[in-house]
């Protein structure tokens, strides 16, 4: 039975194709923002999508004017129409709906958005794309009453070409549903708030008729004196000469695209100034085709492992990290802007970090761009979190789409050094098969970065103080990571004194989480739960205990800032917030912040 199940599963895996990829480096393209004030209609019974017999309007030849996406107006006073976009409430885009109206705070369901816009192309044969940074969770996009398509996944970009669909005045209507689904990625149960909405930028991208859609320009992982990568054109004039130029490095060379519009290259170069956290050097890279020019700021470095060591540009490095959710505590909502990225990553730099674990899903591009500028190495993750439906091929397809999309988006990011496949997923054969396939997909898309995942830990009855990390998943990844909560979910902090770990892999070990809750400003003795003193004591003891792990090469304690979670309802202390932040929801630094900061400063001064 098991063999048959595996064969079926693998056949289903092979059949899943990855979603069409989006244009990368959107911030350096010719764009027109559609951010700002949109109209909004709440629709818990999905009355704008189905008729009263639950027949979907968007699958009808003639959906009729009751469908919200037709953006119909009453033709005369006798017509019955039970919505009117022009008189509907307004909402800001980007931004989750939860923080924008009190009645939206806990809403999970369907919300409709509408934006009217006019657009004049700059050049006749140019093309126009509608690009969403992310929409959580399930979206259907309509332009002038016509369905452009759908997207599943709340944290990755998607786009539609609208070149031949633009009118003088356009009506863009977006259906958004953030209902949590058992077969989803993530599934129904998470420890973060399910912020729904158009949560990131919406832009129109104008490109030449044949344009540079995609490119990969990095150092050869096995030869730092060699550039390697490819350029991918999109358009009818596929065979073009391409010039790649890094002026400051005296690099300029040409290559030729093939009939599919693709050009692969390797180019010997003299030594570049490597990107490092201490010196986050970014080079201006100009990519010219005969019809397009794209400029990007790219850092060059190598990252690999050698036994227990993580080698950045050939030198062993210790990852002084912190975990971060994509949330601005002051807004009490999803982070989405450059200013939000500066706030969160500024705190991480203040803490003494050279690394951030962006939990538990791909963050917005400003976080990646800012990490490259500030010199913070990055762990990026797809929300394959907890009890995923491992046997469902649609669930795998969803996870593989999200992973391939974030790899495609950030593959030129020097700061991004780790793709994480999962977090705390219960061990089973279907789970191992699922993650093995996901690891192969990641390596096929990008063989220049490391793979990891927070894997499972267990103890044997005869030795409850020896924590064993023996997980099949460790064989698929480069860095063995795990979360440990000794002293919070498992005994009291004093338990750490006698704890030890058994991790039988000749690979780097990374503690992806440890921590404790504390209400900022609540002071008591170090055994009083949720006091700052308890959290500080746990940090002191954890830092000491974890250094007994021989292959330890980094950590990202949980978590930089308190964040909203419906799982945390202790009145007066949590009030719907997870309080494990080193910083409170009003920006207050707790005692433990300074404990970790002192440790990181001492680590930074060590010579590896």
Q: Is there a cis peptide before residue 250, judged by omega within 30 degrees of 0?
A: no
Identify which of residues 114 and 568 has a Cβ nearer to ligand GCU in the complex.
568
Check residue 456 for interaction with ligand GCU (CB under 6 A).
no
Identify which of residues 206 and 585 has a Cβ nearer to ligand GCU in the complex.
585
Biggest CA pair distance of the chain: 81
Check residue 471 for interaction with ligand GCU (CB under 6 A).
no
Task: Find the shortest distance in angstroms from Cβ 359 to ligand GCU.
Answer: 6
Identify which of residues 478 and 513 has a Cβ nearer to ligand GCU in the complex.
513
**Size of residue set near ligand GCU by CB under 6 A:** 9
Check residue 194 for interaction with ligand GCU (CB under 6 A).
no
Integer Cα distance of 359 and 326 in angstroms: 8
Task: Find the shortest distance in angstroms from Cβ 514 to ligand GCU.
Answer: 9
For residue 177, give both structure tokens: 């549903």
Identify which of residues 127 and 564 has a Cβ nearer to ligand GCU in the complex.
564
In the complex, which residue's CB is closest to ligand GCU?
Answer: 191
Quick one: angle between helices 338-351 and 591-605, nearest 10?
A: 70
Task: Find the shortest distance in angstroms from Cβ 418 to ligand GCU.
Answer: 16
Check residue 580 for interaction with ligand GCU (CB under 6 A).
yes
Identify which of residues 283 and 482 has a Cβ nearer to ligand GCU in the complex.
482
Task: Find the shortest distance in angstroms from Cβ 578 to ligand GCU.
Answer: 5
Check residue 424 for interaction with ligand GCU (CB under 6 A).
yes
**Residue 131: closest CA among 364, 411, 394:** 364
Identify which of residues 372 and 499 has a Cβ nearer to ligand GCU in the complex.
499
Task: Find the shortest distance in angstroms from Cβ 232 to ligand GCU.
Answer: 36
Q: Compute the chain's Rg from CA coordinates.
A: 25
Which residues on neighbouring strands pair with residue 40, listed in sequence order?
113
C-alpha distances (whole Å) from 492 to each of 167, 261, 324, 520 are 65, 60, 25, 20
For residue 552, give both structure tokens: 């330890």
How many other CB atoms are found less than 10 A from the CB of residue 168? 7
Q: Is there a cis peptide before residue 94, judged by omega within 30 degrees of 0?
A: yes
Secondary structure element (H or E) that encloses residue 542, with its range: helix 532-546
Interface mask (CB under 6 A) for ligand GCU, residues 546-565, using x and -? ------------x-------
Secondary structure element (H or E) that encloses residue 10, with its range: helix 2-15
Interface mask (CB under 6 A) for ligand GCU, residues 137-176, using x and -? ----------------------------------------
Q: Are 15 and 98 in contact (CB under 8 A)?
A: no
If DSSP codes are grouped into helix, strand and coil, which group holds residue 100? coil
Check residue 537 for interaction with ligand GCU (CB under 6 A).
no
Check residue 357 for interaction with ligand GCU (CB under 6 A).
no
Integer Cα distance of 135 and 523 in angstroms: 40
Task: Find the shortest distance in angstroms from Cβ 230 to ligand GCU.
Answer: 36
Identify which of residues 189 and 444 has a Cβ nearer to ligand GCU in the complex.
189
Give the number of C-alpha atoms closer than 13 A to the C-alpha of residue 100, restricted to the C-beta side: 21
Identify which of residues 214 and 424 has a Cβ nearer to ligand GCU in the complex.
424
Check residue 578 for interaction with ligand GCU (CB under 6 A).
yes
C-alpha distances (whole Å) from 271 to each of 227, 313, 526 are 11, 12, 52
Identify which of residues 16 and 490 has a Cβ nearer to ligand GCU in the complex.
490
Q: Is there a cis peptide before residue 137, judged by omega within 30 degrees of 0?
A: yes
For residue 37, give both structure tokens: 């004030």
Task: Find the shortest distance in angstroms from Cβ 557 to ligand GCU.
Answer: 11
What strands, in cross-sheet order, belong to the sheet with 500-502? 458-460, 463-468, 500-502
- Which residues fall within 8 angstroms of residue 245, CB to CB, at 6 or more apart? 251, 252, 285, 286, 287, 288
Check residue 542 for interaction with ligand GCU (CB under 6 A).
no
Q: Are 188 and 268 in contact (CB under 8 A)?
A: no
Among 71, 191, 326, 446, binds ligand GCU (CB under 6 A): 191
Task: Find the shortest distance in angstroms from Cβ 186 to ligand GCU.
Answer: 10
- For the segment 383-412, give every residue that binds ligand GCU (CB under 6 A): none
Task: Find the shortest distance in angstroms from Cβ 242 to ligand GCU.
Answer: 43
Interface mask (CB under 6 A) for ligand GCU, residues 505-524, using x and -? --------x-----------
Check residue 423 for interaction with ligand GCU (CB under 6 A).
yes
- For the segment 24-43, give every residue that binds ligand GCU (CB under 6 A): none
- Chain positions contacting ligand GCU, by CB under 6 A: 191, 360, 423-424, 483, 513, 558, 578, 580
């Amino acid at each position: 039975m098991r063999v048959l199940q595996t064969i079926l599963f693998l056949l289903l895996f092979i059949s899943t194709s990855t979603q069409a990829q989006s244009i990368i480096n959107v911030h350096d393209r010719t764009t027109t923002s559609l951010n700002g004030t949109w109209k909004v209609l709440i629709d818990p019974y999905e009355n704008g999508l189905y008729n009263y017999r639950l027949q979907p309007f968007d699958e009808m030849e003639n959906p009729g004017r009751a469908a919200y996406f037709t953006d119909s107006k009453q033709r005369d006073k006798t017509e019955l129409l039970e919505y009117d976009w022009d008189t509907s409430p307004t909402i800001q885009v980007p931004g989750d709906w939860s923080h924008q109206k009190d009645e939206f705070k806990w809403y999970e369901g369907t919300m409709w958005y509408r934006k009217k816009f006019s657009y004049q192309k700059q050049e006749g044969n140019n093309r126009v794309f509608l690009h969403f940074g992310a929409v959580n969770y399930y979206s259907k996009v309509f332009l002038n009453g016509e369905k452009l398509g759908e997207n599943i996944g709340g944290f990755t970009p998607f786009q539609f070409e609208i070149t031949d669909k633009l009118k003088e005045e356009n009506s863009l209507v977006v259906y958004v549903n953030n209902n949590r689904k058992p077969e989803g990625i993530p599934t129904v149960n998470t420890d973060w708030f399910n912020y729904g909405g158009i949560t990131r930028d919406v832009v129109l991208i104008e490109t030449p008729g044949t344009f540079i859609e995609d490119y990969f320009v990095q150092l050869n992982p096995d030869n730092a004196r060699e550039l390697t990568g490819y350029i991918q054109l999109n358009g009818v004039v596929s065979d073009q000469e391409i010039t790649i130029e890094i002026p400051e490095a005296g690099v300029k060379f040409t290559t030729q695209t093939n009939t599919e519009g693709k050009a692969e290259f390797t180019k010997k170069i003299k030594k570049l100034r490597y990107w490092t956290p201490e010196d986050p050097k970014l080079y201006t890279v100009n990519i010219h085709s005969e019809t397009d020019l794209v400029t990007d700021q790219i850092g060059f470095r190598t990252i690999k492992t050698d036994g227990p060591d993580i080698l950045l540009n050939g030198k062993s490095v210790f990852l002084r990290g912190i975990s971060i959710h994509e949330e601005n505590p002051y807004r009490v909502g999803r982070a989405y802007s450059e200013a939000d990225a500066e706030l969160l990553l500024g705190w991480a730099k203040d803490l003494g970090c050279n690394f951030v674990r962006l939990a538990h899903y791909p963050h917005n591009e400003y976080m990646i761009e800012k990490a490259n500028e500030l010199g913070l190495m990055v762990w990026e993750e797809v929300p394959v979190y907890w009890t995923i439906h491992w046997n469902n091929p649609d669930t795998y397809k969803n996870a593989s789409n999200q992973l391939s999309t974030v790899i495609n988006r950030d593959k030129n990011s020097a700061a991004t050094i780790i793709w994480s496949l999962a977090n705390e997923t219960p061990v089973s054969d279907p789970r191992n098969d699922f993650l093995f396939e996901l690891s192969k997909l990641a390596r096929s898309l990008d063989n220049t970065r490391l793979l990891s995942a927070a894997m499972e830990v267990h103890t044997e009855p005869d030795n409850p103080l020896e924590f064993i990390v023996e997980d099949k998943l460790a064989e698929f990844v480069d860095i063995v990571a795990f979360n440990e909560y000794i002293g919070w979910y498992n005994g009291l902090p004093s338990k750490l004194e006698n704890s030890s770990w058994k991790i039988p892999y000749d690979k780097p070990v990374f503690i992806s989480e440890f921590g404790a809750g504390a209400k900022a400003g609540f002071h008591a003795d170090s055994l009083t739960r949720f006091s700052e003193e308890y959290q500080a004591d746990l940090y002191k003891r954890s830092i000491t205990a974890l250094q007994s792990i021989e292959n330890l090469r980094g950590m990202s304690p949980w978590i930089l800032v308190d964040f909203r979670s419906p799982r945390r309802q202790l009145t007066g202390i949590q009030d719907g917030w997870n309080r494990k932040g080193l910083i409170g929801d009003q920006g207050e630094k707790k005692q433990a912040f300074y404990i970790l900061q002192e440790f990181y400063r001492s680590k930074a001064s060590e010579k590896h």
